[in-house]
Structure 1
Amino acid sequence: MKTTKEALIEKLKNSSCNKVKLAIVDIDGVLRGKVVSLQKFISMLDGGLGFCAVVFGWDMEDKSYDNVSVTGWHTGYPDFQAQIDLATQRQIPWDQDMPFFLADFEQDKEQGALVCPRTLLKRIRQRAVDAGFMPQFSQEFEWFNFEVTPEGFCRAEPEVAKPMTPGMFGYSILRASLKSEFFNDLFDLCHKFGIPLEGLHTETGPGVYEAAIQYSEILLAADRAVLFKTSVKEIAYKHGLMATFMAKWSESLPGNGGHVHQSLWDNKLENNLFYDPEGKWQMSQMMQQYIAGQLHCLPYILPMFAPTINSYKRLVEGAWAPTTLTWARDNRTTALRVLSGGKKSTRLETRVIGSDVNPYLAMAACLAAGLYGIEQQLDLKNPATLGNGYEDFSNGTLPSSLKEATRLMKDSELANSLFGEPFVQHFCKTREWECREFDARVTDWERKRYFEII
């Protein structure tokens, strides 16, 4: 049952809290927020809150973009009007149970709503609801943990950061016990914070964990995924650790996936519309059209799945991440993996997505592409990969760099029709900025390769 404003105010006034934490999510999936007094928070429930437009006008290092139009020095960085979503109410169990809420810019139609990732997902979700579908999604994450503090990390060379645990111990009960206090805190505190985990285990690689978040309605699933990443980092701080969701920490180790699982249900959540007991592999025609839509759209929406320079270091052959436009049943070498067999569990896993992703954008892209396939009644002509997906070039390959992927998306009529031209142009310009920032830097690889010999 939804929390009414009056009931919420009464609950907060009767609690011991005198402050509330609020946050929005920027284009990179970074939480940007503030702590306000309880009195100020109550006043915001009617009028909303002004949030500096710079949160959509700078990158993850707080450098202002010089190429975007929706906000910038040319606009003077005014406030965009955000609205608090009462349904996101939580208490932060590792921070004195401080009340926490997410906000977005859905009502700021001429400004914030054009570029807000959460608002974009709400818009795509509504298309599904209007068509009679209830999208059920979840995300799983892999990430590295290191025995280092932010101060120590800034002083030292990043590559010498010490992994939390040594060795390649995937699915290891033994290694999970080595830092059991951190392991158990992750599971228990995330649950208390409204992020229930279906599973948590070690992955292959030194200090690597993987977590699967319980599935839910798509907007809640994205909220949980965004908050999970920040929660892990904050809980890690408490244990003298740092967590990274970089897609590829080291060229010699597997990358970090952020796979998204998805299915469509009827509006009463009684029937999984992807399941057909008479279909091949129990796949319904709708599921096949949904898959066909993602395969068709993937080359033109890839930056929403792989948004950084580093993302494409993960998308390499033989590293548990896809490189080809492929699908299959229960095959971890393809871009799309079908999991079928049960009326409740039949679903699609999009494996292109890395842990460095903005979950709102990844889920919006998954759903929009799948709906496109259904609306266009696309046939799943692409044959399923029966063996090694890295060797199946029948449908082509994924773009191999952020620069190439961004160019395809920016020039795509398809992407503009799915997400709206204002969002696509803003997002692509932020990715072009990311490429220019990288191109202007001299890397350690260059220094080591050229310093002496050339």
Structure 2
Amino acid sequence: MTWLEDHPEVRTIRVAASDLNGIARGKRIPRRFAQKAMEDGTRFPLSVLSLDIWGEDIDDSPLVFESGDPDGICHPTERGYLPLPWLSAPTALLPMWMYREDGRPYDGDPRHALARVLSRFRARGLTPVVGTELEFYVIDDSGKELRVPPSPRSGKRRPGAEILSLRALDAFDIFFTEVYDGCEAMDIPAETAISEAGIGQFELNLSHVDDALKAADDAWLFKLLVRGVARSHGFAASFMAKPYEDYSGNGMHVHFSLLDQAGNNVFDDGTSRGTDLFRHAVAGCLAAMPASALIFAPHGNSYDRLVPEAHAPTGVCWGYENRTAAIRVPAGSPKARRIEHRVAGGDVNPYLMLASVLGAALVGIEDEMEPPEPITGNAYDQHLPQLPGTWAQAIDAFEESDIISRIFPEELVRNYVATKRQELHYFAELTDAEKVDLYLDTV
């Protein structure tokens, strides 16, 4: 019995894949053609996964006029059909990823980039266990100024920022109930929700899973779900890195550990220090961090978040139980020893972000890198190597990095750099209001 046979109410299907910006690109098809898409896949131009943030082709891309804009074949991922509960008509999503005509994975597909990194872990007998934390704002964007929307429960606006406030959560209880119901229907392992430091800002944690592809899928689908449910209530939910100048930006933190073939955490040495392999992984993450900034801060607005004293890291460092550090080692039982990578904004592509973090850790393990001493105290007050301060600097660092070439295939690096250079060029022509409009719903 197929999922569709169990859901006769579904009338239309969306087939979609993630582009380099994490935007869902795809088609709407009638239900009667769903089986063909499931069995044979569907054709998209290879170039569609490398569109810019406006959905435009990249100027002078070899994927377009030079090669005749050829098709790739999109096949369903192992996720299968998923409901889209925020749409009024019963609809299912069939997530896809792209292959070339001859059956090879398309190197420009961000999901395949993560799969490549995971295959290298498997070759070493290691399995990453990954959990994510996603921050977002709920925003009334109906007027000239962004503001917190009225509560669906009371109809009142609560303009204050309240960290860990039950009142703030309860004000949007109807919205969060629908989000959690949607997560249940879409098999997204949503755990704790909290209110954060910004007005109308919240964070929701997704469970640790031993399948990093599923963790990336979960984060990608969660962003689609939250934005869709919010719009059904008449307001926006935005993962934009910095919607408000005077409040903290949105982050996407990732926690990870590694299991061996017996299921043991290879970061655990029975003490708070962690194993040598743990330290190698930390060192790899630090070594790749400046060059990976374009993955963690992919948009023009991203760099408004990466400023001192704004709850986002700016220095390349690590520390035990230190939230000012770029890499935090949480306290607790050594059996749960893990790394928290805190650099990425909420506007990232989850597939590229996890590929970058895990790929960097793997390089550190392969090269037996050693990290500097962990910091103590406030990272912002210390003289540390810094992340790129501008979008242009991040693009150059990504393109020129040897460590990035060990994580990502050449074609993806080329496509991503071309995409970001085009966006950088046209972003400079926008007004402040146009910049907000650009990112509020897209990322």
Q: 1:89 and 1:286, CA in 2 relative to 1: closer, same or farther beyond 3 A?
A: farther
Q: 1:406 aligns with which of 385, 389, 395?
A: 395
User: Which is bigger in relative contact order (C-alpha 8 A, separation at least 6)?
Assistant: 2
Q: CA–CA distance in 1 between the matches of 2:92 and 2:430? A: 41
For 1:227, the equivalent position in structure 2 comes to 221
Residue 333 of structure 1 corresponds to 324
SS of the equivalent of 1:136 reads: strand
Q: Secondary structure at the match of 1:215?
A: strand
Match of 1:351 among 336, 342, 347: 342
Task: Give the match for residue 306 of structure 2.
Answer: 315
Moved more, 294-303 or 76-85: 76-85
1:13-57 per-residue CA deviation (whole Å, 9 max, x = no partner) reads: 454134332210011001122232333221233322101334224
**For the residues of structure 2 that align with 1:272 and 1:88, how far apart are their CA atoms?**
30
Contact 1:144 1:163 in 2 (8 A): no
Give 1:373's aligned amino acid: G
In the TM superposition, 1:172-211 aligns within 5 A as 172-211=165-204
User: How far, CA to CA, are the matches of 1:440 and 1:174 in structure 2?
Assistant: 41
Distance 2:131 2:255 in 1: 5
Per-residue deviation, 1:133? 0.7
Query: Which position in structure 2 is the counterpart of 1:55?
Result: 48
> Which residue is 2:256 aligned to?
262
User: Which residue pairs with 1:425 in the alignment?
Assistant: 414
CA distance in 1, matches of 2:406, 2:421: 20
| Superposition pairs of residues 75-86 of structure 1, within 5 angstroms | 75-86=67-78
Report the CA distance shift for 1:414/1:308 in structure 2 as closer, same or farther (over 3 A).
same
Does the CA contact (< 8 Å) of 2:11 and 2:90 recur in 1? no
2:267 aligned partner? 274
Q: Is the 8 A contact 2:113 2:409 kept in 1?
A: no
Residue 302 (structure 1) aligned with residue 312 (structure 2):
no
8 Å contact kept, 2:72–2:99: no
User: Are the structure 2 counterparts of residues 352 and 109 from structure 1 closer, same or farther at C-alpha, using a change threshold of 3 Å?
Assistant: farther
Q: Mapping of 1:95-134 within 5 angstroms?
A: 95=87, 98-106=91-99, 113-134=106-127
Say whether residues 1:68 and 2:61 are aligned partners: yes
- For the Cα contact (< 8 Å) 1:283–1:340, is it kept in 2? no
TM-score by length of 2: 0.90
Residue 132 of structure 1 and its aligned partner are, at CA, apart by 0.6
CA deviation map 1:369-413 (0-9, x unaligned): 000000001112x1111101112224x111111110110111122
1:176–1:201 Cα contact (<8 Å) kept? yes
CA offset digits 1:240-278 (Å, max 9, x no partner) = 11111110112211111111111111235x211111104
* CA deviation vs aligned residue, 1:86-107 (integer Å, no higher than 9, x gap): 4343233344653322110145
| CA RMSD, 1 decimal | 2.1
Helix, strand or coil: the match of 1:234?
helix
Which region of structure 1 is more displaced relative to structure 2, 368-377 or 248-257?
Answer: 248-257
**Conservation of the 8 A alpha-carbon contact between 1:289 and 1:370:** yes
Tell me the SS of whatever aligns to 1:114: coil
Aligned residues: 424
Corresponding residue of 1:390: 380
Asked whether the 8 Å contact 1:282–1:341 carries over to 2, the reply is: no
Unaligned runs of 5+ in 2: 151-157, 435-443
Instruction: Output the amino acid matched with 1:259.
Output: H
Within the candidate set 424, 427, 437, 1:438 is matched to 427
